[in-house]
């Protein structure tokens, strides 16, 4: 399991980095779908997988071998509050059309994008378990409608938001963003159904039968 997570984290990180370098860079320069709906989620996934690999599934004491500071940082991440806030701020920032254009044109901004989205994925992974239902609902209830709104707007607007992309590409990316919102909502719901908050009533229900 540990080896599998580590390999997956390395592969996702390498793939996301490769999309920012030639020859694959032309993909994210020409297609907003590759930039926003492939590379950005891939970066967060890579960070999250690395978090899972470093901590083990049990959380803090599992294996501080690769990132020894991680368990100590959890002191500042009670209930996953700072991790969720970091992920929300980072994803909201990279949804700004000005940020997307800058990442296409300016290599320094692109490097910042790679680092912050990867960290946001790591922070999110470190925050899922300590966060109670209220924190999940608060941040999920903020981030998912934000993504859905932007996705629907991009898919339907006739106005180009990014100077770097053609209108057709923006509309495709909008539809992809809506797709990601649905996938994330389903994953989040499935995670909840498995977690203790919902397991208890389910077991009781089972017991009554």
Partner 1 sequence: MADLPRTAPAFAEDTGLLGTFAATLGVLILGLAAAVWATDGGRSFTTEALRRSQVERTPQALPDFAVVDGSGQSRSLQGLWAAGGKVWIVDFVYTRCVTLCLSAGSSMQQLQAQIVAQGLASRVGLMTISFDPENDGPAALAAYVRRVRADPAVWQVLSLARPADRRRLLDSFGIMVVPAPGGEFEHNAALHLVSPPGLLLRILGLDQGAQALALAAP
Q: Which stretch binds partner 1 (CB under 8 A): 6-14, 41-49, 99-107, 193-201?
A: 99-107
The residue from 10, 17, 27, 79 that contacts partner 1 (CB under 8 A) is 79
Comparing CA positions, the residue from 21, 182, 37 lying closest to residue 100 is: 37
Asked if 24 interacts with partner 1 (CB under 8 A), we say no
Helices H / strands E in the chain, number of each: 11, 0
Shortest reach from residue 119's CB to partner 1, in Å = 11
The residue from 30, 155, 175, 192 that contacts partner 1 (CB under 8 A) is 30
Please answer whether residues 73 and 122 qualify as being in contact, where contact means their C-beta atoms are separated by less than 8 angstroms.
no
Asked if 86 interacts with partner 1 (CB under 8 A), we say yes
Residue 126's CB is within 10 A of a number of other CB atoms, namely 29
Asked if 111 interacts with partner 1 (CB under 8 A), we say no
Count of alpha carbons within 13 angstroms of residue 3, beta-carbon side: 0
Structural tokens at position 192: 């909840």
Instruction: Provide the 8-state DSSP code for 56.
Output: -
Asked if 63 interacts with partner 1 (CB under 8 A), we say no
Shortest reach from residue 80's CB to partner 1, in Å = 9
The residue from 65, 72, 194, 199 that contacts partner 1 (CB under 8 A) is 72
Asked if 93 interacts with partner 1 (CB under 8 A), we say yes
Which of 76, 206 has the CB closer to partner 1? Answer: 76
Distance between CA atoms of residues 195 and 71, nearest Å? 22
Number of residues binding to partner 1, judged by CB under 8 A:
33
Taken in order 7, 183, 36, 24, the sign of the CA dihedral is positive
3-state secondary structure of 34: helix
Q: Which residues bind partner 1 (CB under 8 A)?
A: 30, 60, 72, 75-79, 81-82, 85-86, 88-90, 92-93, 96-99, 101-102, 105, 160-168
């Amino acid at each position: 399991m540990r080896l599998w997570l580590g390999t997956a984290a390395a592969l996702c990180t390498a793939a996301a980095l490769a999309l920012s370098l030639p020859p694959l860079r032309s993909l994210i320069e020409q297609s907003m779908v590759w930039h926003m709906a492939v590379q950005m989620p891939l970066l967060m996934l890579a960070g999250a997988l690395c978090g899972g690999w470093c901590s083990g599934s049990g959380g803090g004491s599992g294996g501080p071998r690769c990132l020894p500071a991680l368990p100590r940082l959890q002191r500042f991440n009670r209930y996953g509050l700072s991790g969720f806030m970091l992920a929300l701020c980072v994803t909201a920032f990279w949804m700004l059309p000005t940020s997307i254009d800058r990442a296409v044109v300016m290599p320094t901004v692109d490097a910042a994008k790679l680092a912050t989205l990867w960290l946001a994925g790591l922070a999110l992974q470190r925050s899922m378990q300590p966060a109670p239902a209220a924190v999940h609902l608060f941040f999920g209830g903020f981030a998912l409608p934000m993504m859905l709104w932007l996705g629907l707007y991009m898919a339907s607007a006739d106005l180009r938001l990014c100077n770097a992309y053609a209108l057709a590409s923006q509309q495709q990316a909008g539809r992809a963003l809506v797709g990601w919102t649905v996938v994330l909502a389903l994953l989040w719901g499935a995670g909840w159904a498995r977690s203790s908050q919902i397991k208890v009533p389910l077991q009781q229900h089972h017991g009554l039968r």
